[in-house]
Structure 1
């Protein structure tokens, strides 16, 4: 068996074991070590040490546990109920007001937490029953909660963008700036769809009774001041510090973590037990991310050493592709991979396979990363994996079928695809903020190679002798 075929065998066996339910990080390391030993002998263990050290010394990844900790503290501050109620009162006269309030709450709360499962679960317990009691169609209510909860993987501070930046060597700060407008646009499109369907088909999203709509303005204002504005201010401070260059993502994440604790104390929701639980969950999530990167680094290095990467590159170069058709093909492949795989597996395994091809086809890695972040919204919504649908099913009433949730997610998948098309047609939606804030960030076309001058983590190169 040639080295190239051996590399592809490694990739397909990895997918096979993942489908069987084996842990991702340790499967990556096991496959990398096994095939690495076949290809390079005992030198694979030197590579294991080098890659482990390079990942653990990566400054970019320091912000991951801090943002995760911030999210868990806010999740346990019990502000979601106040936030949803205040936004519900503020949007009472808008068509589909409960759906609009749900999406707005999801967008803000997902920005603060970045944890899809937490947002979908909490909104499934709070907003989903409220919509059903108000007579909303089950499919619409399901799609609103599931799609809204996924916004946190696109809108900064997104853990996905941190991992992509660390993988691709792209500045996380510029990724955050580039993702802000697409994220807000996607959330806005969701809200416009909910309002539109409520106008066209009032039966699927009935208006609230007058006693719930005619709330005094002072009551709405007090409610917003005590629930919406504190969280919005915390998020604005964190993102503003990053985007304006006042702090690195890690420093801003530390500030956000402290702010989340202060917010929890202010809402009288802070306790030592909740703090310990948040620390434990943060440590577990951070360990998973670090070992994913270690396993990915070993797997990718062995895959490239065995010639698998070269075969993939030769395959794509042999196709009659230009920049546009390459982007379309890459996004279709990522969309399909999102059916059986989670976004973490796609970012750490399959994105590195595409990265060397970006220079060949003249694709900006910043633009490519935002398109992936948009595309991976669908991986949470489309079966058979559709984790957001399963999170919602776990807390939904028994009469709500999984089939109804899947059907409710379909219009929002179409909205994601529409937004991807709009962003490709108008790439300035991605490039405007990086260009405006940092200058010289590209011409606004996705075909221009435009790497940030500094920032981002470029993995250390390890030279291995040719043993063939």
Structure 2
């Protein structure tokens, strides 16, 4: 006879087996959850009425307005990917830095950050920058590993920089506002760009032959015409970034409303660039539909799994397992980050967020870890999943659009230094929490998660309990 204590590890092990076999994640989650759910009913661990909560949970997912931000931001990124904005930005910025050793790499990093702030999708950034800048880097003698590495890594900045889709779903799973998640990610985003720029600066100083400047014949007219070209490409981006992020930070719009405005802004920019066609809209909507359907299916499957997992006291099992690690908070954070790092070799970031994060939250809360900081830390760690050889999606995107002369070996070896830089950022966020919390506390001067007010009111039950404002 199976006991309640062995059900959580059996469920978790069953899920791992399904994933290793290669079944789709969404259906694996649902199948394991339903199997152990009916088994638990037969064994008397809970009743059929408990599983009756499942339709209510699924309805809660479908009626969650926050999740509407995902199709809006995806549609915005899909339109901007095809409207010529990336080409204008890269060509102008590349010319601006072209005379400097490593100038093209600097341009790719800066444009990657800007594209990340207006598209929210890694695929759009990597494909756009790879198609435009990689042939130029190859033509003018860039080291192949530096060229491919900087393009793939700059595309992954999108994971951390708002309006990242990862931050939206993390905020939903952590029970924190997306605005707080975006504010907390500002510091790590800036640090990541500086780390990448610092790496290219070091290469240009110690190995300048790997990142040569552009020759004079490759440079266009300098002076005001070039500055105007860069400004003309940058201003629409800045306006769109303010439209999306500024309205969220100022409290004028919810993330869903800001995403809708961003999608409209992307359509307007495409029209201004004379790229707005029915074909573009159709392709963008198809991409949006595919990604949104994938996210919802995974979320529904994870809901089935988590409901049954909690019913067999799986949350207590995970909490006991993780909260009793040696080293307290530090031991927990080290274990979780190593676990997420290796899990990212095999799972997509959406899968990690929906499967693993809900299991980690109770232990993190019990150890008094700020959940916004914890979410941003996990986001920084999960972005390495796009750069892991040989399964990183950014490397797959780059391989798909790179010329045949570019060897896969160079793409994989070129990614390793950038994975190292991303892990350095993980360490910085762990040992310098103010890189996240500074932007949260800036508005009020206090951490909103620590405000507790006693309200003596005999009409309120349990009036001795402090009220915590999220």
What TM-score comes out, normalization by structure 1 length? 0.91
Distance 1:388 1:43 in 2: 45
Question: Which one of the candidate residues 360, 364, 369 is aligned to 1:354?
Answer: 360
- Contact 1:36–1:44, Cα closer than 8 Å, also in 2: no
406-415 or 275-284: bigger deviation: 275-284
2:282 aligned with 1:276, yes or no? yes
Distance 1:111 1:16 in 2: 38
Residue aligning to 2:464: none
Distance 1:426 1:318 in 2: 24
More RCO (CA 8 Å, sep 6+)? 1
Distance 1:81 1:88 in 2: 10
C-alpha deviation, 1:442, in angstroms: 5.7
Distance 1:38 1:399 in 2: 55
CA displacement 1:396-453 (0-9 Å, x = unmatched): 1223222221211111111112122222222111011111135422699xxxxxx993
Question: Which one of the candidate residues 198, 204, 225 is aligned to 2:204?
Answer: 198
2:132 aligned with 1:116, yes or no? no
Residue aligning to 1:68: 74
Distance 1:323 1:44 in 2: 34
Question: Which one of the candidate residues 383, 401, 405 is aligned to 2:389?
Answer: 383
2:428 aligned with 1:422, yes or no? yes
Structure 1 unaligned segments of length 5 or more: list them. 445-450, 455-468
Residue aligning to 1:158: 164
Residue aligning to 1:251: 257
C-alpha deviation, 1:9, in angstroms: 2.1
Residue aligning to 1:304: 310
- Contact 2:99–2:215, Cα closer than 8 Å, also in 1: no
Compared with structure 1, are the counterparts of its residues 304 and 276 closer, same or farther at alpha carbon in structure 2 (3 Å cutoff)? same
- Contact 2:57–2:303, Cα closer than 8 Å, also in 1: yes
CA displacement 1:104-152 (0-9 Å, x = unmatched): 1111112211211222122222111211111111111111011111111
Residue aligning to 1:37: 38
Residue aligning to 2:189: 183
CA RMSD of aligned residues (A): 2.0
Say how many residue pairs are matched: 448
Residue aligning to 1:49: 55
Residue aligning to 2:7: 6
Structure 2 unaligned segments of length 5 or more: list them. 43-47, 451-466
Question: Which one of the candidate residues 429, 453, 465 is aligned to 2:469?
Answer: 453
- Contact 1:90–1:220, Cα closer than 8 Å, also in 2: yes
- Contact 2:88–2:233, Cα closer than 8 Å, also in 1: yes
- Contact 1:171–1:452, Cα closer than 8 Å, also in 2: no
Matched ranges for 1:362-377 at <5 A: 362-377=368-383
SS in structure 2 of the partner of residue 437 of structure 1:
coil
C-alpha deviation, 1:166, in angstroms: 0.6
Distance 1:439 1:219 in 2: 45
SS in structure 2 of the partner of residue 440 of structure 1:
coil
SS in structure 1 of the partner of residue 189 of structure 2:
helix
2:234 aligned with 1:228, yes or no? yes
C-alpha deviation, 1:165, in angstroms: 0.6
Residue aligning to 1:435: 441
Distance 1:424 1:319 in 2: 17
C-alpha deviation, 1:214, in angstroms: 6.8
Matched ranges for 1:390-401 at <5 A: 390-401=396-407
- Contact 2:26–2:301, Cα closer than 8 Å, also in 1: yes
Compared with structure 1, are the counterparts of its residues 384 and 8 closer, same or farther at alpha carbon in structure 2 (3 Å cutoff)? farther
C-alpha deviation, 1:197, in angstroms: 0.5
- Contact 2:92–2:230, Cα closer than 8 Å, also in 1: yes
Greater Rg by CA: 2
105-114 or 178-187: bigger deviation: 105-114
- Contact 1:340–1:384, Cα closer than 8 Å, also in 2: no
Distance 2:7 2:88 in 1: 56
Distance 1:219 1:20 in 2: 58
- Contact 1:86–1:228, Cα closer than 8 Å, also in 2: no
SS in structure 2 of the partner of residue 362 of structure 1:
coil
Distance 1:373 1:235 in 2: 21
Residue aligning to 1:334: 340
CA displacement 1:201-257 (0-9 Å, x = unmatched): 011111110233473211212211321221222112211111111111111111111
